Amino acid sequence: MPKKLKLAVSQSRTLDTLQQTLDALAATTRKAASQNVDLVLFPEAYLGGYPRTCDFGASVGARAPHGRDQFLEYFHAAVDLGDTPLGAGDDWVDRKLPTAKGREYRGDGTREFLERVARETGVFIVTGLVERCGGSLYCGVVYVCPRYGCIGKRRKLMPTGSERLVWAQGQASSLRAVTTEIKGVQLCLAAAICWENYMPLLRYSLYSQNVNLYLAPTADARDTWEPLMRTVASESRAFVLSANQCVRKSHLPAWISVGKKVEEPKALTRTSTSSTSPSRRRKSVVMEGTHELVLPDPSDDKGSDKSAIAEDNSADEFVCRGGSCIIGPMGNVLAGSLWEVEDGFIAVDVDFEDYERGRLDIDVAGSYSRNDAFHLTVDGLDLNPPPF
């Protein structure tokens, strides 16, 4: 009997404030509910923002003061989910951590907001976020069930490139898959964030847990991303959802440009009146009696106009082109990739029996694994499939 669900990916971008972004997430989730979507994925760092192009004033062996001001802005934009720096795992999920006197809950209320949206819409929400915990920031993903609220959360193990300056490393134990049941369909889902998908052992740790829905929120907008997602689907025989933001330069927060070097205007020079530059004199100097009147050079005006136009065009350029997609268990593209589509949204009906059909010829963590010869262990993580 078919095991059908409707899965969606939202190519949403972070807005100016956390509350605006949360409201946009709620609106998108309501839209998903109106289309009978069962689960929706939002991009990496959607809540809190991906600080694209920001250098935080850092170079090897040096830190510029403006970079600390940028980090302050970014730190304040992140969400507080009430977890601990080491990650409290099930104690966080089950709300067993102590709360401050007089407080109803831990954190800034983002968890409670997401749980309320999921409950009211009936849509399972998975979103990327930047989590503030203690004095550090973590790139994370949270799984929000309409019935049980947050049933899991994880933090990116290995921030990529310059991300390492502002994001701490997450815990391997958070790679634990989560299970749920939607419309009688049993799901085992887990997320690999952006370039974690280039880590073969990390991917295998998810395959080992018998994941049938593989989530890949990302910030990678290169055309090499879709082939990677097709590879993941082919390896795992799972459905793969990948969500990215589509962002123009003008969408970036104003604080990102603070401290950036800008081209200084050319110094004004006095026009020569000597006979060595007759052409310049003819264009910009008018004689009135014995006095010279220096007029603006029309060619300079044209140059200024061109510069202004170029600046406007630059602000309109995409700094992230999106590329969100949905891939089937045989590596086939079911929807997307969405390139240069702002506020994009794709949804497809899928049959999870296709995941089981794909196991006829390959189960990379089971019958195809040669586990008599190869072994993977992950500190703090049980690689056995979680119970339903």
Active site residues: 44, 156, 194
- DSSP β-bridge partners for residue 382: none
Three-state DSSP string of 179-243: EEEECCEEEEEEECCHHHHHCHHHHHHHHCCCCCEEECCCCCCCCCHHHHHHHHHHHHCCEEEEC
CA-based angle 8:11:15, to the nearest 5?
130
Q: Do the Cβ atoms of 121 and 146 come closer than 8 Å?
A: yes
Three-state DSSP string of 309-337: HHHHHHHCCEEEEEEEEEECCCCCEEEEE
Quote the DSSP letter at residue 265: P
DSSP 5-63: EEEEEEE----SSHHHHHHHHHHHHHHHHHTT-SEEE--TTTBT---TT--TTEETTEE
- Residues 102, 322: Cα–Cα separation, whole Å: 43
Q: Do the Cβ atoms of 327 and 213 come closer than 8 Å?
A: no
Q: Do the Cβ atoms of 364 and 376 come closer than 8 Å?
A: no
